[in-house]
Amino acid sequence: MLTTLSTAYTDTRADDLAWALGREPLPALAVLDLELSGAKLQLRLLGASHQVLLEEEQGSCSETVACMPGSSTPLPLGVAKRVGDWEYEFAARVETLSEGSFAGRAQELLALVADHPNSLAGTFPGSPHAFTAMMAQREAGQVRWRTWHAYPQEGRLVVTRTRVGAVSRRQRAERRLEPVGI
């Protein structure tokens, strides 16, 4: 789903993005509720970027990547942690593109997500290549999502990917057997 967000594009920077797990739902400009094989997923476009809320039998998880005033957790290149009975993995990278390349990449990404049933993208009025886009899927017992945050004034595109999956009984048993302190 592609939408125009009803807020002015402010001159933020890719470096202003921060990452957080476990935040309460923030006010959203657009929301897409999905049911992916028993997992309830809510994709949320914020004025300052994105939030994903995941609810499943094993529990819930909230990921926020946004410009959050006062946040002391900058956008990491990667995170792997246990969240309840889940393995959570997050990765981010920043692409720096020339003006022409940026415009082409923006059009390509917006076309990719525009008609995808598990995606949400929002463009900002006044800047044709300023957008935030999200796409989710369920595969092999895992919920995955990707996001793209465009900063045309800098020629930078922030790309993230997340994977959340249940820890198997075997993995839990192996962890109990791992030696400590080695």
Mean pLDDT value of segment 76-87? 90
Determine contact, residues 132/49, Cβ cutoff 8 Å.
yes
- For tokens 């909230």, the residue is 62
CA atoms within 13 A on the CB side of 110: 18
What is the domain partition of the chain in residue ranges? 2-168
Can you give the pLDDT at residue 168? 58
Q: Give residue 155's pLDDT band: very low, low, confident or very high (50, 70, 90).
A: very high
Residue-wise pLDDT tens digits, 85-117: 889 999 999 999 999 999 999 999 999 999 899
CA–centroid distance for 44 within its chain: 9
Report the first-to-last Cα separation within the chain, whole angstroms. 49
pTM of the model: 0.86
Q: Which amino acid is at 65?
A: V
Q: From CA 165, how far away is CA 142, in angstroms rounded?
A: 4
Q: In terms of DSSP H, where are the helices of 23-168?
A: 99-114
SS (H, E, C) 88-124: EEEEEEEEECCHHHHHHHHHHHHHHHHCCCCEEEEEC
Helices (H) and strands (E) in the chain, counts: 2, 12
CA–centroid distance for 33 within its chain: 15
pLDDT over threshold 70, residue 173: no
Residue-wise pLDDT tens digits, 52-61: 999 988 788 9
Q: Which residues, other chains included, contact 169 with Cβ-Cβ below 8 Å and sequence gap of 6+?
A: none
